[in-house]
């Protein structure tokens, strides 16, 4: 439940930042009070959302890639919908299909259950193995072979 709240907060903050940037650039050229409000507001909210993204990473230490695809994909889709509704921007059917594909791709990337064999301790600054640069070529190949045996689906 806490993780869902983090995602929702991140998406909302990204949407607010995008709307702020668009608001600041809407209808006026150059630096104006409206531009400055949009620039500062968008950056304050957008930069603050990085704190929430770090909390998402903290809550999902096993796979930061899935955390990012859900956070980034959800923010992208939310921003597209919000900007279209608020500023009446028009996307073509093909462009909306692209937005839908991003949403579907984000959902698809999250399927498959928990990741095994990943470095879940990386968020704590620990590493399970020494870096490959210190290993000889034979040891690296051995580790790759072992990883393949453990993780590649053999049908």
Residue 9: burial class (beta carbons within 10 Å; 0-12, 13-18, 19+): middle
- Dihedral of the alpha carbons of 43, 89, 96, 81, in degrees to the nearest 10: 50
The reply to whether 143 falls in a domain is no
The reply to whether 44 falls in a domain is yes
Number of structural domains (the chain) is 1
**Among the listed ranges 5-9, 65-69, 131-135, 139-143, which one has the minimum average pLDDT value?**
131-135
The reply to whether 37 falls in a domain is yes
DSSP code for 28: -
Which tokens go with 11?
A: 């998406």
The reply to whether 36 falls in a domain is yes
**What's the pLDDT tens digit per position in 48-57?**
999 999 999 9
The reply to whether 82 falls in a domain is yes
The reply to whether 124 falls in a domain is no
Tell the residue number behind the tokens 């600041």, with chain if given. 24
**Among the listed ranges 84-88, 133-137, 150-154, which one has the minimum average pLDDT value?**
133-137
The reply to whether 95 falls in a domain is yes
Would you tell me how many other CB atoms lie within 10 Å of the CB of residue 119?
A: 15
The reply to whether 126 falls in a domain is no
Which residue range forms the structural domain that includes residue 37? 2-111
* pTM of the predicted model over 0.85: no
Phi and psi at 89, nearest 5°, equal -75, 145
The pLDDT, as a whole number, for residue 132 is 41
């Amino acid at each position: 439940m806490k993780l869902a709240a983090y995602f929702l907060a991140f998406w909302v903050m990204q949407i607010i930042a995008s709307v702020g940037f668009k608001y600041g650039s809407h209808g006026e050229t150059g630096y104006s009070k409206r531009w400055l409000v949009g620039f500062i507001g968008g950056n304050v909210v957008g930069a603050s959302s990085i704190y929430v993204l770090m909390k998402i990473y903290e809550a999902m230490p096993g796979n930061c890639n899935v955390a990012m695809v859900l956070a980034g994909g959800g923010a992208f889709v939310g921003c597209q919908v919000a900007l279209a509704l608020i500023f009446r921007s028009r996307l073509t059917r093909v462009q909306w299909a692209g937005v839908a594909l991003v949403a579907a791709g984000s959902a698809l990337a999250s399927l498959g259950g928990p990741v095994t064999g990943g470095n879940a301790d990386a968020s704590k600054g620990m590493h399970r193995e020494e870096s490959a640069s210190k290993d000889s070529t034979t040891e690296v190949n051995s580790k790759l072979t072992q990883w393949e045996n453990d993780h590649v689906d053999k049908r």
